[in-house]
């Protein structure tokens, strides 16, 4: 009989499910050395956030088939090591969806009716009805930033309450937004028209301080904002100033740039602000749900069935995985790159497998390309299991073709994406066994390794372009690590691919396109 080790406290419902197929040992509070000593006896390990599953622990788990994290994040698991050893890692990405959505709705209603302050007033022996005259949400406009699973549930409940729905999500198609009942608008229009704004997006470099002093200044005086997503999406200092000056009516926050919340101007605010200590997933049901979800996946894997929320590659043995992994990394990198070139809301992705890849198993490579494509929208929430589902939900159509003819490389991958910024294509191959090369950009031949910060230009092939661009970047203190030009014909159109040491400063792209001969410029962060 299989053996499962539970090394963090989980709900009994999860243990009951595991007990159907395995002997379950609950041993919490183990030190890393103690876990290394005993993990070799077990077929599965179930954790929450307390246990850090290191490379040493995984390598000592010679019988491990699966590691289950009862929650969303898996940053406490060495996923690459587990993947190399053919161990499935699963989480529960949807276990707290309802809890988080309901908390946002509760915050919105509490903010509208001043419930926390009214409650405190009555408990002090007061009976002050006049000070707590609130507002109705009925027929008000709710702006939803992020239409993932949580944002979509908020939308369905708000619609039932008679609210008008606006949404900003650069990774959602118009058709999908309309199915949910939202009018898709840009961010600036949303903040100008919404009476309530609720945030449901991950924190990324692009979303950090998405709500800043400039956007707060555009909001209605009666606007109220709710953030139960991630701290740092709102500039808290700018928000506190706007609230104190009465430029917006209220804010309700469950998450903060620094947690626990220390000295902050938010704490000195009155009834115009509601602050809770990151309670979005803190419901009895959510804790039960994540325990059941992960326990069921562990049970299924031990019975030889696939896991539904694997964050690595389910069902592939170490030998198969080692052969496919370099090409999956290539596909993921190309997907990330072409998605940024095409713009956030991609509608169509063409995937062409060339050379030897045309005759091999393609599904893992296609999924890897989608994972890369969706990374800017979902970050760690997208994985090899849900990438296809997430793409479908966002209205992304995928077309796969094969071309067995061999070009400069024995195997290559070509991706073409249609999005906000038009249609763009990239092609890549492997140099040697693992070194990735970008070999084509928008049908222009190049040969460059990808780097974290890249700049691409479309320009006329004419003298002086390279020098002018280099001088411009230098004036902004941007250092060029490498540069290559690709062209089809002499003095025709050409592309330039530059690897940079640092991200481009704000505003520099518009200056680049002012250089005579440069028609367009794109920056990419990989």
d(CA 450, CA 107): 44
pLDDT of residue 385: 63
Sorted by where each begins, the domain ranges of the chain are 2-95+286-310, 97-275, 316-442, 451-526
Residues 331 and 413 sit within 8 Å (Cβ to Cβ)? yes
Label residue 294 left, alpha or beta by phi (over 0 means left) and psi (-120 to 50 means alpha). alpha
d(CA 15, CA 34): 22
d(CA 10, CA 5): 12
Residues 430 and 436 sit within 8 Å (Cβ to Cβ)? yes
Q: Which of 85, 209, 278, 379 is catalytic?
A: 278
Q: How many CB atoms lie within 10 A of CB 515?
A: 17
Distances in whole angstroms, Cα of residue 334 to Cα of each of 83, 390, 398, 416: 21, 18, 15, 10
Helix (H) or strand (E) run with residue 238 in it: helix 236-244
d(CA 278, CA 62): 38
Model confidence over 131-176: pLDDT tens digits? 999 999 999 999 999 998 899 999 999 999 999 999 999 888 888 8
Spelled out in words, what is the top-level CATH class assigned to the domain 97-275? alpha beta
d(CA 423, CA 396): 14
Residue 196 phi/psi, 5° resolution?
Answer: -130, 140
Q: Quick one: pLDDT band at residue 380, thresholds 50, 70, 90?
A: low
Classify residue 387 by burial, with Cβ atoms within 10 Å: 0-12, 13-18, 19+: buried
Q: How many CB atoms lie within 10 A of CB 319?
A: 8
Cα torsion 437, 441, 444, 450: sign: negative
* 3-state class (DSSP) for residue 445: strand
- 108-112, 317-321, 507-511: range with lowest mean pLDDT: 317-321
User: Residue range 377-381: average pLDDT?
Assistant: 76
Model confidence over 417-454: pLDDT tens digits? 998 778 999 999 998 777 899 999 999 999 999 999 99
Q: Which CATH superfamily is domain 2-95+286-310 in?
A: NAD(P)-binding Rossmann-like Domain (3.40.50.720)
What share of the chain has pLDDT > 90, as a percent? 69
d(CA 179, CA 127): 45
Quick check: do 2-95+286-310 and 97-275 share a fold? Answer: yes
d(CA 63, CA 241): 57
Tokens of 249: 């009516």
Angle between helices 97-113 and 284-302 (to 10 degrees): 170
Tokens of 247: 């430029």
230 in catalytic set: yes
Per-residue pLDDT at 215 exceeds 70: yes
Tally helices (H) and strands (E) across the chain.
17, 22
- 29-33, 44-48, 309-313: range with lowest mean pLDDT: 309-313
Q: How many CB atoms lie within 10 A of CB 489?
A: 8
Q: pLDDT averaged over the chain? A: 91
CATH 3.30.70.260 is held by the domain 451-526: yes
Model confidence over 219-274: pLDDT tens digits? 999 999 999 998 999 999 999 999 999 999 999 999 999 888 989 999 999 999 99
Model confidence over 292-313: pLDDT tens digits? 999 999 999 999 887 878 887 6
Q: How many CB atoms lie within 10 A of CB 156?
A: 12
pTM (2 d.p.): 0.73
**Full 3-state SS string of 450-507:** CCCEEEEEEEECCCCHHHHHHHHHHHCCCCEEEEEEEECCCCCEEEEEEEECCCCCCC
259 in catalytic set: yes
Q: 160 or 403, which is more confident?
A: 160
Vertex 381 angle, CA 376 and 387, to 5°: 80
Q: Quick one: pLDDT band at residue 321, thresholds 50, 70, 90?
A: low
pLDDT of residue 419: 85
Model confidence over 452-490: pLDDT tens digits? 999 999 999 989 889 999 999 999 999 999 999 999 888
The CATH architecture one would assign to domain 316-442 is 2-Layer Sandwich (3.30)
332 in catalytic set: no
Classify residue 511 by burial, with Cβ atoms within 10 Å: 0-12, 13-18, 19+: middle
């Amino acid at each position: 009989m299989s053996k499962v080790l539970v090394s963090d406290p989980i709900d009994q419902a999860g243990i009951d499910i595991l007990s159907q197929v395995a002997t379950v040992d609950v041993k919490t509070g183990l030190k890393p050395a103690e876990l290394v000593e005993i993990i070799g006896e077990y077929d599965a390990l179930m954790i929450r956030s307390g246990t850090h599953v290191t490379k040493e622990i995984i390598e000592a788990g010679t019988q491990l088939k699966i590691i289950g994290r009862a929650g969303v994040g898996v940053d406490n698991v060495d996923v690459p090591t587990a993947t190399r050893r053919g161990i499935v890692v699963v989480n529960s990405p949807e276990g707290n969806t309802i809890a988080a959505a309901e908390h946002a709705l509760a915050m919105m209603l509490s903010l509208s009716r001043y419930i926390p302050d009214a409650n405190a007033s009555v408990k002090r022996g007061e009976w002050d009805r006049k000070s707590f005259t609130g507002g109705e949400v009925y027929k008000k406009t709710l702006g939803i930033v992020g239409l993932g699973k949580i944002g979509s549930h908020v939308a369905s409940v708000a619609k039932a309450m008679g609210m008008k729905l606006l949404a900003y999500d650069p990774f959602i198609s118009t058709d999908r937004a309309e199915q949910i009942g939202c009018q898709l608008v840009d961010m600036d229009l949303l903040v100008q028209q919404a009476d309530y704004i609720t945030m449901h997006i991950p924190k990324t470099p692009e979303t950090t301080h998405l709500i800043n002093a400039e956007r707060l200044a555009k909001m209605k005086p009666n606007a109220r904002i709710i953030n139960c997503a991630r701290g740092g999406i709102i500039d808290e200092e700018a928000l506190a100033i706007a609230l104190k000056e009465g430029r917006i009516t209220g804010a309700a926050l469950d998450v903060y740039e620094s947690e626990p919340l220390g000295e902050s101007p938010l704490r000195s605010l009155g009834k115009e602000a509601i602050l809770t200590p990151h309670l979005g997933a803190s419901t009895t049901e959510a804790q039960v749900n994540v325990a059941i979800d992960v326990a069921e996946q562990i049970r299924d894997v031990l019975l030889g069935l696939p896991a539904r929320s694997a964050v690595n590659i389910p069902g592939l043995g170490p030998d198969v995985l080692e052969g496919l992994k370099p090409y999956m990394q290539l596909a993921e990198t190309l997907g990330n790159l072409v998605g940024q070139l095409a713009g956030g809301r991609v509608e169509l992705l063409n995937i062409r497998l060339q050379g030897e890849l045309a005759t091999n198993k393609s599904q893992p490579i296609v999924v890897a390309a989608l994972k890369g494509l969706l990374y800017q929208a979902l970050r760690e929430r997208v994985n090899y299991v849900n990438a296809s589902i997430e793409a479908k939900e966002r209205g992304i159509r995928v077309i796969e073709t094969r071309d067995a003819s061999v070009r400069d490389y024995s195997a290559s991958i070509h991706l073409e994406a249609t999005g906000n910024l038009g249609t763009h294509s990239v092609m890549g191959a492997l140099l040697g066994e693992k070194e990735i090369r970008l070999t084509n950009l928008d049908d222009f031949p190049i040969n460059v390794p990808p780097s974290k910060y890249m700049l691409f230009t479309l320009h006329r092939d004419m003298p002086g372009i390279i020098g002018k661009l280099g001088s411009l970047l230098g004036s902004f203190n941007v250092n060029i690590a490498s540069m290559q030009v690709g062209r089809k014909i002499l003095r025709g159109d050409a592309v330039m691919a530059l690897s940079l040491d640092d991200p481009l400063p704000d505003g520099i792209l518009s200056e680049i396109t002012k250089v005579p001969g440069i028609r367009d410029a794109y920056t990419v962060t990989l």
